[in-house]
Amino acid sequence: MCRNVAVIGVGSSKYGRRTDVSFMELAWEAYKEALDNSGVSPGDIEYVVYTSVGGYSPEGSPAGILNEYLELNPKGTSRIEAACTSGSAGIFFAYNLIKSGYADIVLVLGIEKMMESSTPQTLELLARLGNYFWEVRDYGITFPGYYALFMNRYMAVYNASEEDFCKVAVKNHYYGARNPKAQYRREISLEDCINSRYIARPIKLFDCSPITDGSAAAILVGEEYASKYSDSPIWIKGIASASASALLTGREDYLSIPSAYEAAKKAYKMAGVDDPLKYIDVAEVHDCFTIAEVMAYEDLQFAERGKGIELIREEQTYIGGKIPVNLSGGLKSKGHPIGATGVGMIAELVKQLRGEVERDRQAPIKNGCALAHNVGGIGQYAYITILSLK
């Protein structure tokens, strides 16, 4: 069977430090909203995909626990992990379950409760990574350090400044302040970012996304079920993944995330997109650090190499610009609950395409097309998903 696949319902918890709920209760928030948003009943769901990295959360193997708590037994279930792209990998898995005819209605639920992990637990996780990632083991480099290398290189080659990258943070906090589910619901000034302390020079505190508790859910169906449940199904027109070396010593340059570029090429071909600026109305990109958003502009062909920084300088990624980006607040302001992030991007874009988000962060929908860009680690994984109203 080669049938089309639609998203008919989405949900999200509030992101942030969620000490008010348990791991299971956090999952329930997104699940209940997705059910209400879709018109699907629990009995209609045929398969459940949970996405969680696990190393940061209190539950290392959440699928069985959550299936029982959400009263979804005896439905089939899996836990999908692909670092920060776990959520998008779960969407990809569900899409193919439906595309193949194995299932008709699939729930994807991403969750992470990162605030419960202590510093020693996190360091232990990094130590385990160091068994292979010798750059971590031998040089003590962490994710801010990796992206600091990218930022330093970009500034040297393209004459960008730390202030330029802070403009990404200012934009994302501007929209995050208008998102009731964002972790940081406040605007920041350019001076706030510039004057924040260095984490890994030139990356400063306000260049970094936070640690986050959160959940997000999406319900996918085969085309013959879409109109039964929804007057506004959102179709998955393109979805693709790619990989790259986990070590920077295995990269040709530090000016791109090659896996994101390759995944975008495949997704565009699948969706019939020859010029993304002519098709895409709004995008959610993986701004784990401000430099990551600028590189995404170029990897996604929103700008030529070295010209991505001009998009943020000229405010072309705000509403009213060439391509509005991260109107949710992005990872930077909305938050980054690792296993939920990719599903949360889909939830945001479905609501954007339907015109269901808050008015002052609603993109103008002219072409009916949106894009999610999700990167894992420093680009070991990448997923691009293209959504459409028709």
Q: According to CATH, what is the number of the domain 5-117+211-229?
A: 3.40.47.10
Reported pTM: 0.96
CA 263 to chain CA centroid, Å, is: 14
pLDDT in tens, 331-384: 999 999 999 999 999 999 999 999 999 999 999 999 999 999 999 988 999 999
**DSSP conformation letters of 197-262:** PEEETTEEGGGB----EEEEEEEEEEHHHHHHH-SS-EEEEEEEEEE--SSGGG-S-SS--HHHHH
What residues does each domain of the chain span? 5-117+211-229
Given the residues 84, 166, 208, 369, the one annotated as active site: 84
Given the residues 173, 336, 369, 373, the one annotated as active site: 336
Q: What is the pLDDT along the chain (390 residues), one digit of tens a residue?
A: 579 999 999 999 999 999 999 999 999 999 999 999 999 999 999 999 999 997 766 677 899 999 999 999 999 999 999 999 999 999 999 999 999 999 999 999 999 999 887 666 666 665 665 556 677 767 778 889 999 999 999 999 999 999 999 999 999 999 999 999 999 999 999 999 999 999 999 999 999 999 999 999 999 999 999 999 999 999 999 999 999 998 888 888 899 999 999 999 999 999 999 999 999 999 999 999 999 999 999 999 999 999 999 999 999 999 999 999 999 999 999 999 999 999 999 999 999 999 999 999 999 999 999 999 999 988 999 999 999 999
CA distance to 97, 100, 278, per residue, from 106 (Å): 8, 13, 32
Say how far apart CA 143 and CA 132 lie, in whole Å: 15
Find out whether 284 and 332 touch, Cβ atoms under 8 Å. Answer: no
Helix (H, G, I), strand (E, B) or coil at 76: strand
Instruction: Quote the tokens at residue 251.
Output: 């990269």
**Nearest-10 crossing angle of helices 290-299, 143-158:** 60
**What DSSP character marks residue 373?**
E
The proportion of the chain whose per-residue pLDDT surpasses 90, expressed as a percent, equals 87
Q: What angle do CA 92, 13, 236 make, to 5 degrees?
A: 25
74 prior amide bond cis, ω within 30: yes
Say how far apart CA 389 and CA 6 lie, in whole Å: 9
Say how far apart CA 201 and CA 241 lie, in whole Å: 31
Tell me how many helices (H) and strands (E) the chain has.
Answer: 15, 11
Query: What pLDDT sits at residue 95?
Result: 98
Say how far apart CA 143 and CA 196 lie, in whole Å: 18
pLDDT in tens, 53-73: 977 666 778 999 999 999 999
Helix (H, G, I), strand (E, B) or coil at 39: coil
373 is catalytic: no
208 is catalytic: no
Q: Which distant-in-sequence residues (6+ apart) come within 8 Å of 241 by Cβ?
A: 85, 88, 89, 92, 259, 263, 381, 382, 383, 384
